[in-house]
Amino acid sequence: MKIWIKSGTVVDPVKGTSKKSDVIIERGKVAEILPPGVFKGERGKFREIDASGKLIVPGLVDMHTHLREPGYEYKETVATGGMAGVAGGFTALACMPNTMPPNDCRSVTEFILEQAKRADRCRIYPVAAITVGQKGERLTEFGDLKEAGAVALSDDGWPVTSSELMRRALEYAHYHGMAIISHSEDRSLSEGGAMHEGSVSTRIGLPGIPAASEEIMVYRDICLARLTGCPVHIAHVSTAGSVELIRRAKEEGLSVTAETAPHYFSMDHRAVVGYDTRTKVNPPLRTPEDVEAIKAGLAEGVIDAIATDHAPHSSLEKDLEFERAAFGMIGLETALPLTLELVRGKTLSLPDAIKKLTWNPASILGVPGGSLTIGSVADLAIIDPECEYVLREEDIQSKSKNSPFIGKALKGRNDLTIVGGRIVWERKT
């Protein structure tokens, strides 16, 4: 069925504009974007959607999701993660390889894509492992993985400790036109840590993870980008020091890109005081000064993308003593309101905020999407930016509920998601 979205504000992150428009969708494509009142469609031939007061944005693209399949289906599957994604306004998810077995060979990549086809919700882009078994010893077959459908490479969850191996990975990936997404962590400093090392960890008696454990590896990766002339993407940037290193690398003209996750600009280490294991993430929530630096990094374009690092865990891994609990929080269904907070706080313009959730991550991954123009594939979301609500556990589509934002007041919500011209999510309440 053809779709006629009426009187919404179309946000074009590429042109940097937002304009009141109607959007017509036909045969899976954006057929028209025109001022309201101009289009005269025949009644009954269209599914008509009133979008007045709403934003029409390109479908969000998450370049860093954990879907847990194969191996940890009790936490999330491609189907449940895809559902959480479309509920949150995402039309494409790049899923990390730390599954069981890890996505380090063609058969696992193909399996994930098969499950994605079966789930038929949003686009799924597998990110394959850099090293076999994510053990940091031997490179995987990048060409083979690319042919199977992997779009990028990462050992996310684990660093590639050997600089020599990382150098080869950057060269080999560049040859294949695949991005390397670096989980920058010096394990010799972070091992045994449970939260950011600082005044709060000292006070509440938890072992710390110093900012330096991230910054040392960010600098190592920047040095390798300089040495090889190959691009590197830094995942989940959390510290002021990392922002400064990436700023300087960009000024130097190196091919370095970076992402952060909404929790790094929405919360700081004081949130851990009550030992709520849902606040335990890796890298950890940092200081208020780091939060400010992350926001400044986003505003200045030092940080290119906002990715969720959606990390579902069950109560088996989370209802434990803080030190024993797993790292990670879900994020697909809260990324949008938390990012819109940056717009309300004047850190980012609306088109810029949307660009960091769409065009920029799509470009870094080299996947389609991220723009909303006539003729483009109809992947889009209709957002109510003014909707105020308290996040309830029962509203969460993800199989896991490990979000510290449950019970918190949020503003801005995705109402409807379209993938390839088909409505895949519509909010009922």
Binding part of the chain for Zn ion, among 81-89, 309-317, 333-341, 403-411 by CB under 5 A, reads 309-317
- Concatenating the DSSP letter of every residue in 75-106 gives T--HHHHHHHHHHTTEEEEEE-S-SSS-S-SH
Compare residues 12 and 156 and give the one whose CB is closer to Zn ion.
156
**Least CB distance to Zn ion at residue 425 (A):** 24
Q: Which residue is nearest to ligand DOR (CB)?
A: 328
Between the CA of residue 245 and those of 17, 222, 256, 310, 414, what are the distances in Å?
31, 8, 10, 25, 35
Choose among Zn ion, ligand DOR, none what residue 328 binds, the Cβ cut-off being 5 to 8 Å by kind.
Answer: ligand DOR
> Taking the mean position of all CA atoms in its chain, how far away is CA 382?
19
How many CA atoms lie less than 13 Å away from 165 in the CB half-sphere?
A: 17
Q: Please state the closest distance from residue 223 (CB atom) to ligand DOR, in A.
A: 22
Site string for Zn ion, 129-168 (x = CB under 5 A): ---------------------------x------------
Residue with tokens 């040859």: 175
Could you give the CA distance from residue 304 to residue 179 in angstroms, rounded to a whole number? 14
- Residue with Cβ nearer ligand DOR (156 or 304): 156
Residue 33 · residue 334 · CB < 8 Å: no
Q: CA 58, 62, 64 angle in degrees (round to 5)?
A: 170
**Rounded least distance, CB 235 to ligand DOR, Å:** 8
Burial class (CB in 10 A: 0-12, 13-18, 19+), 372: buried
To the nearest whole angstrom, how small is the minimum distance from the Cβ of residue 424 to ligand DOR?
A: 25
Is 309 annotated in the active site?
Answer: yes
- Residue 268 near Zn ion by CB under 5 A: no
Q: Is 266 left (phi over 0), alpha (psi -120 to 50) or beta?
A: alpha
One residue of 77, 282, 339, 417 binding ligand DOR per CB under 6 A? 282
Token readout for 118 is 């079966």
Binding track over 364-383 against ligand DOR, x by CB under 6 A: --------------------
Nearer to ligand DOR, 183 or 413 (CB): 183
Q: How far is the CB of 217 from ligand DOR (least distance, A)?
A: 12
Nearer to Zn ion, 156 or 379 (CB): 156
Rounded to a whole number, what is the largest CA-CA distance in the chain?
67
Report how far apart, in Å, the C-alpha atoms of 244 and of each of 214, 296, 410 are.
12, 10, 30
95 binds ligand DOR (CB under 6 A): no
Q: Does 186 bind Zn ion (CB under 5 A)?
A: no
| Spatial separation of the C-alpha atoms in residues 268 and 293, rounded to whole Å | 12
Shortest approach of ligand DOR to residue 311 CB, angstroms?
3
Restricted to residues 49-68, the positions that interact with ligand DOR (CB under 6 A) are 66
55-58 and 2-12 as β-strands: parallel, antiparallel, unpaired?
A: parallel
| Residue 418, contacted partner among Zn ion, ligand DOR, none, CB below 5-8 A by kind | none
By CB under 6 A, what part of segment 120-179 binds ligand DOR? 156-157
Q: Which entry of 309, 319, 395, 415 is annotated as an active-site residue?
A: 309
If one asks whether residue 309 binds Zn ion (CB under 5 A), the answer comes out as yes
Q: Which of residues 176-195 bind ligand DOR (CB under 6 A)?
A: 183
Nearest to 288 by CA among 239, 359, 245, 246: 239
Pairing of strands 2-12, 46-50: parallel
- Residues found near ligand DOR in the complex (CB under 6 A): 66, 98, 156-157, 183, 281-282, 311, 327-328
- Residues annotated as part of the active site: 309
- Residues found near Zn ion in the complex (CB under 5 A): 156, 309
